[in-house]
Amino acid sequence: MEGFLSENVIQQWIAEDEKLSDALVEIENLGLSEKEQAEVVFHRISDMYQLPKMPNDIIDEDEDEAIVETYTGEGEDYDPSSVYQELGLIKYLNPDEDPRGNVLMAIYLVKNKLHVDIDEVYIKKYGSKKKSRGIGFKGENTNVEIVFVDEGKSWFELGCILFMRSVD
């Protein structure tokens, strides 16, 4: 993630957005653990920017079902993503980072219609770009974890609520 999105970008975003900065100071002053603060950030900041927190928050208002087609935004195709999904990938790539920073990074990505580079995730796991059928996501909110789903395995039976199929 370092080359893709640096900590400086997040710090700059916080410095330039007074409403965000104030909300983060308020959350930090709640007297909660870092993990509990991350959960509050997940909900409060996602809501502040009206971002989809969970995969089922990405809906087609006309169809009232999960969106599967590709959005087009700012001249590029964009597959909608949730904070939950991006956070799962970020946590895998940066497991020892401050959970609040990981959540902010996920929010930043969704807000700016960006994604974690999925190739980085596969390279970290396998040393190459693709070795599994896809990635499953399980857990709730900031407790998201990713699961590599091999051929013949059911992501649903592994307890996942979302599955991203590998593409060649």
Structural domain contains residue 162: no
Distance CA 129, CA 39 (A): 31
Structural domain contains residue 139: no
pLDDT tens for each residue of 63-72: 443 333 333 3
Question: What b/e string do you get for 110-128 counting C-beta neighbours within 10 Å, with b at 16 or more?
Answer: bbeeeebebebbbeeeeee
pLDDT tens for each residue of 33-53: 999 999 999 999 999 999 999
How confident is the model at residue 65, as a pLDDT? 39
pLDDT tens for each residue of 78-91: 578 999 999 999 99
pLDDT of residue 59 exceeding 70, the answer is no
Instruction: Output Rg (C-alpha) for the chain, integer angstroms.
Output: 16
Structural domain contains residue 146: no
Task: Tell me which residue has tokens 């940066």.
Answer: 94
Tally of structural domains, the chain? 1
Structural domain contains residue 147: no
Whole-structure pTM value: 0.84
Structural domain contains residue 83: yes
Structural domain contains residue 123: yes
Beta strands in 6-160 (DSSP E): 59-60, 65-66, 71-73, 76-78, 134-138, 145-149
Structural domain contains residue 46: yes
Q: What domain range includes position 57?
A: 7-127
pLDDT tens for each residue of 125-163: 988 877 778 999 999 999 999 999 988 899 999 999 999
